[in-house]
Amino acid sequence: MTGFVYLVGAGPGDPGLLTARAIELIGRADVVLYDKLIPREALGFAPEGAELVDVGKIGGGPQVPQEETERLIVDHARAGRTVVRLKGGDPFVFGRGGEEAQRLLAARIPFEVVPGVTSGIAAPAYAGIPVTFRGAASAVAFVTGHEDPAKPETAIDWDALARFPGTLVFYMGVRQLPRIAAKLIDAGRPADQPAAIVDRGTFPEQRSLAATLEALRERAAGAGIGAPAITVIGEVAGLRDELGWFERRPLTGRTVVVTRARAQASALAARLREFGAQVVEAPAIRTEPLPVTVPAI
């Protein structure tokens, strides 16, 4: 009996951006094949006994080949299991979900696609950058900053991107940022146009940096910005200093350990996260009300 596969977007990292449908399906899964960039809390919704398999990839780090990931999806589904392929962001936005859907179709395995919040919108928003803005950007283009190395030549039309009348959002382009900036400037994009880079967008440790397009490549390297990051190029990037909210919260950059029992810690932990803290729950104590003795009269 063939199982069923759900290609599920887990959003950009903040567990609050998981969709209700994603949480529901994780809770019904027999197997969850997950990426590195999913919210850490997402796996906590899986039922006890579910098989959790890390098939993530990080540029420059350990890699699980895409072919192996697709083989695992098919094998588990053919064994009659309910499979959740949990992907950071959205499955169909630079997530290779389309390739996995084609593989499932060829294997005659039923599937469903569950969209997620893509980091190309969420990370700029958490940095205070609206990717569209009346009078400044009526269009937005999503571009990969890390093309398939097996391709004989680039599929990116740099001249067209330089002329694009709106916001450019580059995914996965940190190491390629000097090349991206040079290509755009050489093709006519203004070197002094506002630009920004958002490192680990929507995660508690998010950092963002704004500069001109020409200066950003050097400033990002000097600040130690690394993957995963989103680069935004366009007039809207200049709004970061005005509208940035996430990194201004009072506990941003602080780590708080909550030692209460988990059932008692959840409300406190949630409140601390709202103020920007990275919360580590380490249940060690439990608080209980003291008995009150009423003296006899």
* Active site positions, annotated: 35, 57, 172
Residue type, 16: G
The two structure tokens encoding residue 85: 């392929």
Selection from 114, 88, 86, 95 nearest residue 14 by Cα: 88
Rg of the chain, C-alpha, whole Å: 22
Selection from 161, 123, 134 nearest residue 240 by Cα: 123
Cα separation, 225 vs 75, in Å, equals: 38
Provide the 10 A C-beta neighbour count for residue 127. Answer: 28
Measured distance between the N- and C-terminal CA atoms of the chain, rounded to whole angstroms? 74
The two structure tokens encoding residue 86: 């949990």
Strands (E), the chain: 4-9, 31-34, 51-54, 82-87, 111-114, 140-144, 167-171, 194-199, 207-212, 229-233, 255-260, 278-285
Cα separation, 78 vs 73, in Å, equals: 9
